[in-house]
Amino acid sequence: MLIIGENIQIMSPPIKAAIENRDKKVIQDLAVKQVEAGAGIVDLNIGPQKKLGHEIMPWIVQAVQEVCDVPLSLDTTNLAAMEAGLQVCKHPAMLNSASADPDRLDSVMQLAAKYGASVIALTMGVDGIPTTADGRAGIAMEALLPAAEAAGLPVANVYLDPLVLAVNCNQDVAMASVESIRMFKMMADPPPMTVVGLSNISNGAPLDNRPLINRVMMVMVMGAGLDSAIADPLDTVQNEWIRIVEERDDSAPLNKLILALYDAVAGMEELDESAVDKSDQAQVDLWKTYRMLTNQTLYADSYLQL
């Protein structure tokens, strides 16, 4: 599982201040921590930056490259900033992102083809995000992949993103993201790559609950065939769950349940309640989170206490 480290983003007050003050140490320290924790790509989210993006993106790219030797994800809606960053990248970069909006889609795909970059392609059109997996797959087939082909961008460089929505507001469509991943992997041979913004699923949930919701969702999208996630690489428990799945480590009771969840999603089945040891609180919490994410029980901030 490729983890794209999400922690350098302008919505974070320390990162915003560091960008404004051109304080590269704050950014460098966080980049190093993410790479040491296992991030294979570091996302650099500078926001729209309509006026100074063409200066800020190459500055932040060079700052991170001074201390880290990994590919970077250039996260901005400013095309000039993207290209300025691409011009100084040491490794083929990732562009985050392109939607199916025709005013932007072709430009991002062409930019990626020009520099040998990858693109996170969002299954969102001018009318917003479809609520069904079929609708998201339709955008991928009818707009995103054809635009990549027209630009000469290999399908292997396209990372389809179903756009995970916050479960506290969109519980009834949480599983659409999981099923979208499964559908994306059947679209071409070789199949396109897939990615999710993992932490979106828990946006707005109590801080204590967010890591568990993210981890359970991670196992579920992995079961559907996920290749990568924009996520927090500093979540060591999340990293351990990924290892358990990838190595099929069933050496502990919770491990067995994590693998049972993965296998259930991979087999398009429901997780059997008999797999849960009700005397083990960690297993009960996983089970309750699975039930909530699959819309079998209603979301509430206190869902673990219900």
Alpha-carbon span 281 to 66, nearest angstrom: 44
pLDDT of residue 188: 87
SS3 148: helix
Two tokens at 240?
Answer: 């351990």
Query: pLDDT value at position 288?
Result: 98
- Give the β-pairing of 2-5 and 118-122: unpaired
Among residues 212, 238, 166, the alpha carbon closest in space to that of 304 is found at 212
> pLDDT at position 297, please?
97
User: What's the CATH class of domain 2-234?
Assistant: alpha beta
Amino acid at 20: E
What does DSSP say about strands 193-197 and 94-98: parallel, antiparallel, or unpaired? unpaired
Distance CA 18, CA 27 (A): 7
Distance from the first to the final alpha carbon of the chain: 33
Q: Greatest CA span in the chain, whole angstroms?
A: 58
Strands (E), 12-58: 41-45
The dihedral region occupied by 132, where left means phi > 0, alpha psi between -120 and 50, and beta the remainder, is beta
Give the tokens for residue 270: 């429901």
Pick from 49, 39, 42: which is nearest to 19 by CA?
A: 49
Q: CA 288, 249, 213: angle at the middle one, nearest 5?
A: 25
pLDDT of the residue at 189: 87
Question: d(Cα 157, Cα 84) in Å, to the nearest integer?
Answer: 20
Cα 131 to Cα 134: distance, rounded to the nearest angstrom: 9
State the Cα–Cα distance between residues 158 and 188, nearest whole angstrom: 12
What is the reported pLDDT for 110? 97
State residue 45's pLDDT score.
Answer: 98
**What is the residue whose two structure tokens read 């200066």?**
55
Q: Computed over its alpha carbons, how large is the radius of gyration of the chain?
A: 19
Give the mean pLDDT per block of 10 residues along the chain (306 residues): 98 96 97 98 95 96 98 97 98 97 95 98 95 97 97 96 96 95 93 97 97 98 98 98 98 98 98 97 98 97 96
- pTM summary value: 0.97
Tokens of 86: 């691409």
Tokens of 168: 């506290």
Residue 220: name the closest of 156, 292, 300 by CA.
292
Beta strands in the chain (DSSP E): 2-5, 41-45, 72-75, 94-98, 118-122, 158-161, 193-197, 228-231
pLDDT computed for residue 50 by the predictor = 87
Residue type, position 244, single letter: I
- Give the Cα separation of 140 and 161 in Å (integer): 9
